[in-house]
Amino acid sequence: MAVIDLKALPPEEAITYFRSKGLHLDPTFAWQDKWQGDHATAFTVAKSTGFDILKDIHQAVLDALENGTDFDTFRDQLTPILQAKGWWGRQTVEDPATGEPVSALLGSTRRLRTIFDMNIRMAHAAARWQQLQRNAEARPYLRYTAILDSKTRPAHRAWHGTILPIDSPWWQTHYPPCGWYCRCTVQTLSDHDLARYDFKVNDAPPPDSAPSVRYVNPRTGEVSEVPPGIDPGFAYNPGEVALDTHAARVAAVKWVDAPPRFTAAEQASSIDFLQPLLTQDFGGWVDQVADAMSAGTFKPIGEQRVIGALTDPVLDFLADADIEPMSGAVTIDDRTVMHMLRDAKVSRGAALSVADLQRLPDILGEPQQILFDAADPALVYVFAPAEGELGKVIVRVDFSTKLDRQRVVTNSVRTGALVDPGDLAAKLQDGAARYQIVVSD
């Protein structure tokens, strides 16, 4: 008789979620440098600042998710890589926030276990939330389930069996894991399940056993009210935070290699829900770059974000001009963000404000006009920062950049500025003919 080897299928949604976090590798000195939902959209490891190890650790966790490998294999494969790069044991390192030397534990077996455990749990939790949302109509209730042994936290033991609708606000702060090494999960239930097991939906969330804890982030000074039973930094739902912004980012990344007309159609059909999410995600990235610049720790690594797409009218105009873009995606890289932030901070000339930079996806998605600069070939996206003001964002078509040692060609935002409405009007006059109207509302 033939022996059939039945292997568990890899958790595709957890893998997709965790892989997308690798699009934003964000070195930090302390785990509090990134707070709650920030961890849902970026990958970081405390004490990684100044060491080239994030990509190695992210890839090792991703391999574990894809192959179902255990911690021992993860540790044995990763340890020599980290040791070779000097990220191991207790060392004196500089805290970038203070410039002071600090004795810190870098790599260790215990730290690798924490990294492995929490990243695997969070990836599965975020993926599970996506599945729950898809089945919410048929299975609209969640039941908190704890492992009732000697290691279980008293609060988590008290929450065991709590049944609430999936859209209850309680799940925004109490969706597990709810702390370091928390093993709790949720069970999804239908009305039939309630009757079958004689379960009752709670009239309200369980009362807190103690007042909320006032937690002051020692890195940022931010004050949070942490529910009792929740570890600081865990009072959020990783799936809820990641579901929309990660889905939007992953969807937009696919535009880079897709045919431009396909990208235009995707952008047009999804603009109502995708554009706000891209703006939210991009605005958070701009904040992170700005914070790192202020701390003196930001180093451009060639990271690129997709923040828009060329539309059909733009592609039609370019085709008439014998320009066939290789990609329909509009991108911006971290070096350009750094320069635009620096200009905004020092109010250099007519620089765009930080607020305008943060909403670049909105500007590209709904401009007042799109022009073509014939003298210096580029697309010019015109918008109104405020009443009586005009601004422009310059997008180079088929701009080549180096990403992960490979050449990538996209349509790249290169700069932006405030403009004089009169000067813009003059450049549109027939006599000047520098600007040609591509799209106008």
Q: Which residue has the higher pLDDT, 22 or 67?
A: 67
CA torsion, ordered 282, 288, 291, 296, to nearest 10 deg: -120
**Looking at residues 143-166, what average pLDDT do you find?**
95
- Decide if 3 is inside a domain: no
Same domain, 270 and 196: no
Whether 41 is covered by a domain: the verdict is yes
CB 418 within 8 A of CB 385: yes
**Do 163 and 302 sit in the same domain of this protein?**
no
How many Cβ atoms are within 10 Å of 260's Cβ, its own excluded? 23
Q: Which two tokens stand for residue 337?
A: 């963000």
Choose among 10, 7, 38, 37: nearest CA to 24: 38
226 and 260 in a common domain: no
Q: H or E element: which one contains 125?
A: helix 109-134
List the beta bridge partners of residue 215: 224
Q: Give the chain's mean pLDDT.
A: 87
Q: Indicate whether 231 and 329 sit together in one domain.
A: no
Mean per-residue pLDDT, 291-311: 88
Cis before 177 (ω within 30) = yes
3-class SS at 410?
strand
- Number of domains present in the structure of the chain: 2
Q: Kindly state whether residues 89 and 123 are assigned to the same domain.
A: yes
Are both 203 and 344 inside the same structural domain? no
Does residue 316 share a domain with residue 172? no
Predicted confidence at residue 5, as pLDDT, reads 47
The pLDDT of residue 403 is: 64
- CA atoms of 39 and 41, how far apart (whole Å): 5
Token match 């932030």: residue? 341
Structure pTM? 0.60
73 and 143 part of one domain:
yes
Residue 363 contacts by C-beta under 8 Å, 6 or more apart in sequence? 356, 381, 383, 391, 393
Residue 33 lies in a domain: yes
| Any domain includes 129 | yes
pLDDT digits (tens, 9 = 90+) for 24-73: 677 888 888 877 777 776 788 989 888 889 999 999 999 999 899 999 99
Q: Are residues 108 and 224 in the same domain?
A: yes
Full domain range(s) for residue 264: 254-440
Q: Out of 181, 207, 236, pick the residue that ends a domain.
A: 236
**Tokens 């880079």, located at residue:** 256
Ordered strands of the 185-189 beta sheet: 163-165, 141-145, 185-189
Residue 271, pLDDT score: 78
Q: Can you give the length of the chain in residues?
A: 441
Shared domain check, 396 and 297: yes
Whether residues 226 and 275 share a domain: the answer is no
Contact 327, 260 (CB under 8 A): yes
